[in-house]
A and B are shown apart, each in its own frame.
Chain A
Amino acid sequence: MKRHFRVWRGDASGGDLRDFDVEVNEGEVVLDIIHRLQATQTPDLACRWNCKAGKCGSCSMEINGKPRLGCMTRMSTFTEDETITITPIRTFPVIRDLVTDVSFNYEKARETPAFAPPPGLAPGEYRMQQVDVERSQEFRKCIECFLCQNTCHVIRDHDENKPAFSGPRNFIRAAELDMHPLDDRTDRKEFAQASQGLGYCNITKCCTEVCPEHIKITDNAIIPMKERVVDRRYDPLVWLGRKIFRRDQLESAENMAPSTTVGVAGTSGGTTLGASGVPHSSVRLPESAPIGPDGRMDVAELLAPQQGGLSPFGEDISFPLPPEYITYTHPERDKNQ
């Protein structure tokens, strides 16, 4: 039987909701309907999808106004006469139809300092107890569908907060590493507060509501991180102790997380440069896709300068790297300890 759909079609220059009547069969999900639309009425309808099993996080869209995965929204949850409205996720710039440019999330992820094992511990020597890593493992379930980023009103309704706010997905990353038994960095709380904009969150829990992996983002990651920041920053006893013993100056000189974000309260923004003019952090600057002189990407891969997708390391890098180019320094045990 046919059901009524409204699908947003257009691109950055504009667009609108178009009406379609599409055949729906038993057991189908919204993504099946998108595919049927592509097969029958609108062969050029753009939609990002991959696994159809709720594990790749590609088919994020808004179905009847709610951020959902297209492949995990069963058609049986709607009544037969219900009009189903499908729009791209709102928070990010649209590329075409249901496809949006989610690079904001990757830029923010790149700014987060990576896992740092303790000095002297080589890969392969990591030993930890299940009870210690359990909390971090919950956050590893994240499929990066960015529904939480999309629904978070801090950036959804206030685009101007994007430079200062990393979003729930990156808060669970921060919590994952801060709770990790083998992570040796001690400044993750300061980083979350100063560079990720943890203070912008007002814990209205929409991220938890939309998470298709049912990660308790607010209760298990954001609130614990807020409490950890309170430990460091808003605890008057700790503050007094630091003032008396002058520990605040010592610590800030040693491991102050550089704020890579412009606009965060109390920071100047920009990556701090070392003496050699090389950024301290291993943060790689965002790269855009290869674009021709007309400002557009090549029509087909066959005409592109290289086949396949872009290397995540940049197209001008070949492996193995000469040793002097490697910025990784393996932590070594301090001889004085």
Chain B
Amino acid sequence: MSVTAQPASRGPLFAGHSKLSDRIGEPLLRVLTGLAALAGVGVLVWIAYTVFNQASPAISRFGFGFLGTSAWDPVHLRFGAVDFIFGTLESSVLALLISAPMSVAIAVFLTELAPRVARRPTQILVELLAAIPSVILGLWGIIVLGPFLNNTLEPALNGAFGWIPLFSGSASPYGMLSAAIILTIMTVPIVSSITREIFDTTPSEFKEGAYALGATRWEMVRMVVIPYAGPGIVGAVILGLGRALGEAIAVTQVIGNTAGIHASLFPPSGTLAAQIASEYQGATSNLQVASLVYLAAILLVITVIANAAARLIVSRVTAGREQWAP
């Protein structure tokens, strides 16, 4: 990058270029690209400013107590975020608890186990899962998954593990479990593709060394690949978490959209993003609108922290290694 412009040593080859066009073109491109970069950063700041500004009536009314209050009553104007914060964290963490091990397994399969010819097609298929629009996953969740949970899976879980509070109570086609499963499907491709990329960067000398010492394939993966990729996997999981925390549409379609904290996974619940999607347009008072935007502000802070952490970890791990994949 630090190649400074050489003193003009124009050969005849470039004699045709007028100095005028250089004098305009060079700064023009510099300014245009600089402005674009400024716009890219600026819009982030602008979003944050606008959201906090519009939430300010609720912020000044409820203060930080909003974060710990369990209430959503538009008639008596009592609002609080704790139910939705809890729902957001619960659905996303559950989703990642399933999708993280699954993703690591997929990455192992793709880098170590699959026959060479199968690797690329499988990888593409898994990554295409990330391209399915969330509204379609939600549609599938409403029409296919919901009835299955209500009629089959939840009664079965309740029958077998009903003594665990998580699986207590009666089944419901809309609820936390449904949301968690949809979010699992959404996060698997994200986490697995990053994990696979990091696995791919494991130096082959390390792997060969392990094999030379007589390790089986699993021992090699467990003692070389996973420790080497560890921080990167954490980063990938947090990145998936960021996606799950912010998903509004698919979650609002399947979660049932209610306030309340339940021990069981079956009853309908709510998340920050889903609550905004379901109530923002129909809010009955200015305070309710501001409270919904307050939820948006909380969501923004949570996802920015998650993404920043993930990016810092991933970039530290992959620093210096070429990585470009869509």
Co-assembled chains A and B: no
Q: Which residues of B contact A (CB under 8 A)?
A: none
Q: Which residues of A contact B (CB under 8 A)?
A: none
